[in-house]
Structures are given as C-alpha cells and as structure tokens.
Structure 1
Amino acid sequence: MNILWIYNLPLIPEAGGTERITSLVSRRLTLHGHQCLGILVFNERTGSITYESEFITDLYSFLCKHQVDIVINQIAYDKWLLDVFLKKGGEQWYREKGQIISCLHFSYKMSE
C-alpha cells in the first residue's frame, strides 16, 4: 500500500509534535510492508504544493503516477488543507480509488 502524507510544513521530526508523530508512524508502517512516500507540503499563503522540494502542478497526475492508495491529512482541526487537496486534483483521485485519513493533533492541556 502506498501512503502519502499531506501537511503545511516539511517533515522535520525535531520541529514539533505533528512532525515527530508523522515520522514515527511512517517508519512503523514501512516496517509492516507499506510504502510511505513522504510528505506533500501545501503552502496556505501561496497555494503552492511541493514534494521533495519540487513544485507539483498536476496533483491528480502526481497521485496516479506514484500509485497513492491512502493520503493522510495531518491538519484535521481546520478544513483548509483538505479543501485545497480536493480542489487541486485530489477529488478525482478520491472518487476513483483513493482513501483519505484525517488526523487531529492537539495538546490535552488545551482543554484546561
């Protein structure tokens, strides 16, 4: 199974909790035989999408070329990332065969 992560920052495990858990889960999924393709970075301000520092202009073709089965959305607390992903080509991929998992990351102290 080919898994791709989407987020608004590059994957630097030392940068924060979401980045750290993304790295840890990705490594564990790889140990279980899944292909983790890394992270697709969405810039909310510019609207650009990058993968390994290369700009992605045709998201649907990118997803098909890499035979992505599952996209893991690391920003479920706000709908902007999923909206942009779907609008820029993810919706067609999703309708045809894709699966999307959205993860909610937060500090338990936020509820105090």
Structure 2
Amino acid sequence: MMESAGYAKTAPTRAEVDALEGATVLEFGTDWCGYCRGAQPHIAESLARAPQLRHVKIEDGPGRPLGRSFRVKLWPTLIFLRNGAEVARVVRPSDASDVDEGVAALA
C-alpha cells in the first residue's frame, strides 16, 4: 500500500486498470489539494484495516485521460474496483467510515 506516498505523476492506461485482478482502490487527487491532504488520515485509517487491497494514488488534472475516463470531478475521488470494474466510489471522504463503505462494497 502507498498510503504515505504522494500521487503518481504517471498513470496506468484505462486498459491496464480494466485488466487489474482482485480488489483495487484508485485514488485520484493532487499533492497540493487541501481536500486531498485533509482526507489522507481518513483514507489511511480505513485502508489499514484492509491490507489486502491494492491502493494506487494517481495525480489527476485537466487532460489526464484516466481521471476523465472515470468522470472524476472532485478530489480526492476513490474508486473501488473488483477485477477492473467499478463497484463503489467515495468523493471527498470526511471520515474513515466514508471510506469503509467503499471497502465494504468490495467484500
């Protein structure tokens, strides 16, 4: 898990994401976003209870095709995927229970 790392500047392609096996959490945001920074403790707390999940943090912004393909509008947006298919989405979590709901959808 990459909870303490910043957002990756290079993103996988949508085809690569669609081909992921198992449970994955894609987190879209930026390192300078106040909402993203504020949500990190909540995201980390929730995902610490689900260490089996793959957590990928991707820098988003205008012209970033992966975020656009998921229609990301606000940061941070967490997209919960099972075998590459979206099963839940959490936008701007305000506490760990918000993230827990997305994790529960993967169970």
TM-score normalised by the chain length of structure 1: 0.36
Is the radius of gyration larger for structure 1 or structure 2? 1
More helix by share: 1
TM-score normalised by the chain length of structure 2: 0.37
